[in-house]
Structure 1
């Protein structure tokens, strides 16, 4: 059973902060005898000695210092809880928390966020970036309202919604011989230096499977955790890449050309949403704008 008397803890905390029973009473709006009684009751309840008198002032004991550290930690959590409870009625109307994979946080979401802010200027936006698994974790633990990640169809603990489908494309430097191709195939890329997203990507695994089925050994000269830097290197003439269309399109102002890749490989960009939380109006508006932007 929880026996802590919050008033005793407030008195204890005030005495630690002021170093004086009288000042602690003034801080809490009570008399010095009331503070002394609260401290005495706290000591008796838990068989502690919290303060000793030295040279006319009281000094905290080791137990008091240890207890104060724990009290401060709990007060921080309590203040967060009180703030959450106070804001609960309006929280979802005023704040939108988004978690997204790193690449899309840089080149895709900023334009959507800008448009959303113009439409809903009173909503504070919080954007977190991470891997797909981190995005799912944020949504599952209630730290974010909307997630955007590259995921397989089956992910547990959250709600997954489809986004408008986009496919992988081939990105090459301007004036590259592959410019003449209407579609680029694994056979077209035989022996050509390739810059690809790293091995742990589902997109990468599907791409390598396409090369395997075409009996072509890809000439991979560089791997990157995220696709963003690859476009700049392609523009510099370092090689060619196959990546998701949204990334390629975001960098289309560079000296690159974009061609469809065949066979068609979908980019599994998904919306990740909490399993039990009703979508707020800002969330619904943002999702609508997100889908429209992908289209």
Structure 2
């Protein structure tokens, strides 16, 4: 190969990459030609052009057989990745052109993804069949970074949300409640106060967070301290523990509703502790049609949740 004869492989086009990948896969220029709708001389000529462009051999020629060199195998692996990426772009373009799909990447707190979002996602997908959905749960700081850098399209976060690189659309407010067994003596009350919960073993979430500080403050107004029996980190586990009769769970009503099964009741906690959530996107990104449609679906569904919460105590 003469010095200075090399040129960028990209100048040979996608067809050359497809030819290389097919020869590597089949091990034969003749088989590759049949698969690609080319002639065998055409395949051989393309391979020679590739080798001329990159400056090294891709195959050993052994009595008409093509045996990949170590360098050829290494290059072919990256070519496969590149072609897979091009296929994804092509598929997405077709989906968008046909209004069939796209991909939506969403991040939310664990209790949101486990309790509230499945119904919203299912309803959204019924209206937008074919959309690929990626639902993730991360820590608050990681979620903020994923949204700000547009690794994900949107997310749900508890307000207030700090960060000038994020746009927050207030979405829903929720009160607090108590989940306990239906046969618990306190289940007879529609509203439970710290006074009524005096000495009761409690199941509480979020040690050290603002929510727990507010719970402590609510008990302090009655000159009491909560009797903490169990600390946990998800509403699902709090309600599951309450169903075993090991304590009364004080929870976010919105996030707990999905876990109130038969044998459990949800009662209002007073004094009120409010939880506000926002739909969050990157501040410098124009929301796509899918993001806008998903926001509307979430708004409608959470509005129904809020109406349910405002009704009679659940039993």
SS at match of 1:165: strand
- In the alignment, is the contact (CA less than 8 A) between 2:169 and 2:280 conserved in 1? yes
- 1:212 shift after superposition: 6.0
Match of residue 305 from structure 2: 294
Equivalent in the alignment of 1:128: 135
Contact 2:100 2:129 in 1 (8 A): no
Q: Do the aligned residues in 2 keep the contact of 1:161 with 1:271 (CA within 8 Å)? A: yes
* Residue range with higher mean Cα deviation, 229-238 or 134-143: 134-143
Aligned residues: 294
Residues 193 and 219 of structure 1 are in contact (CA less than 8 Å); yes or no, is this contact kept in structure 2? yes
What does residue 313 of structure 2 align with? none
Tell me the alpha carbon deviations over residues 94-116 of structure 1, each in whole angstroms, 9 at most, x when there is no partner: 76655443323333334445555
Partner of 1:264: 272
Given candidates 4, 11, 22, the residue that maps to 2:19 is 11
Secondary structure in 2 matching 1:163: strand
**Cα separation, 1, equivalents of 2:68 and 2:249:** 66
SS at match of 1:286: helix
What are the residue-to-residue correspondences of 1:90-109 with 2, within 5 Å? 90=98, 98-109=106-117
How does the TM-score come out when normalised to structure 2?
0.76
Distance 1:214 1:92 in 2: 57
Is the Cα–Cα contact under 8 Å of residues 170 and 243 in structure 1 kept in the other structure? yes
28-37 vs 15-24, greater mean Cα deviation: 28-37
What RMSD, in angstroms, separates the aligned Cα atoms of the two structures?
3.3
Comparing 200-209 with 235-244, greater Cα deviation is found at: 200-209
Query: In the alignment, which of 230, 233, 238 is matched to residue 238 of structure 2?
Result: 230
**Change in CA separation of 1:253 and 1:49 when aligned onto 2, cut-off 3 Å:** closer
Secondary structure, counterpart of 1:265 in structure 2: coil
Compare 266-275 and 177-186 and name the one that shifted more.
177-186
- 2:286 corresponds to which residue? 277
Deviates more, 1:25-34 or 1:183-192: 183-192
Please, which runs of 5 or more residues in structure 2 have no aligned partner?
1-6, 307-315
Partners of 1:250 and 1:68 in 2: CA distance: 50
Q: Which ranges of structure 1 fall in alignment gaps of 5 or more residues?
A: none
Q: TM-score, normalised by structure 1?
A: 0.81
Partners of 1:204 and 1:127 lie apart in 2 by 31
Is contact 1:112-1:293 (8 Å) kept? no
- The answer to whether the Cα contact below 8 Å between 1:132 and 1:150 also exists between their aligned partners in 2 is no
Aligned match for 2:214, one of 203, 206, 211? 206
